[in-house]
A and B are shown apart, each in its own frame.
Chain A
Amino acid sequence: MNETEPTPIELEAARLFAAKREWHRRQAQAPLKEKVRILLKMQRDDYPLLRQRGALCSWERPWNIEP
């Protein structure tokens, strides 16, 4: 049946999702220091939005530490 055949855009999306899975697999193997660096970066990046959602606990604010 034609309905089950993936469209070109679905094929490209599937390829991109597969690449993402592989990228995450590699990320999971990163050293702890790199993972902490990423966590701190995420804290800084998301803080402007998080603070709009109301009062934050102290630990939800970006931590002033170095990995």
Chain B
Amino acid sequence: MEFPQAAIRFAWHALHYCSLYRRVSAVQYFYKDANALQIVRGIQGAYDLDVFIFLPAQTGPLITMSPLYDILRERGYVFDAEHVIIHDTPVQFLPAYNPLSEEAVREAVFYDYEETPVRVIRPEHLVALAFQTGGRHRRIRAEALLEDGDIDADRLNAILARRTIILP
């Protein structure tokens, strides 16, 4: 069976558009008065948004996101599993969970999104986080970023050396 050329063009454009490089996006929906100290857009190139947060200090063997979720529920947002649907966009809040992710949040850069300043994790940190966390999909995204050439190699190498991350 032969695919129609128009369908092939559509698929190619869609794939290209969705590539990580082209989607350096920072659609950030955040609420500023919660307990989180910083909220930073994390992983790019996906429909859902990852928002890294610094959680307030908690005691006990388990960390809970309940205070955050409670505030969102009070504001009328609905949940889809661990995602909060905010303005029709699934958003997942993730705690900065280790020194590398904390550093990534601290060093996130500002973008201007229609006159709203938003903070986005640097691509070098995204690559480092992807390789540190592992997994096929993350590795593919990280490799796409590396191939894109929009990476500051010196900065990336410094991060990898500092965090003892070895690229496969």
A: which residues have CB within 8 A of B?
A: 7-13, 16-17, 19-20, 22-24, 27, 38-39, 41-43, 45-46, 48-50, 52-53, 59-60
Contacts and interface: CB of A to CB of B under 8 A. Distances in A.
A62 to B, nearest CB: 10
Interface residues of chain A: helix, strand, loop or mixed (majority)? helix
Contact of B89 (A16, A45, A50): A45
Given A9-B55, A12-B65, A48-B114, 7 more contacts: A8-B63, A12-B62, A19-B82, A22-B81, A42-B17, A45-B25, A50-B23
The 4 A-B pairs of least Cβ separation, nearest first, read A13-B97, A19-B82, A12-B63, A46-B25
A53 B63 CA distance: 39
B121 to A, nearest CB: 14
- Interface range on chain B: under 10, 10 to 19, 20 to 34, or 35 or more? 35 or more
Contact of B23 (A42, A52, A59): A42
Most buried by B among A10, A45, A50: A45
Contacts, number: 85
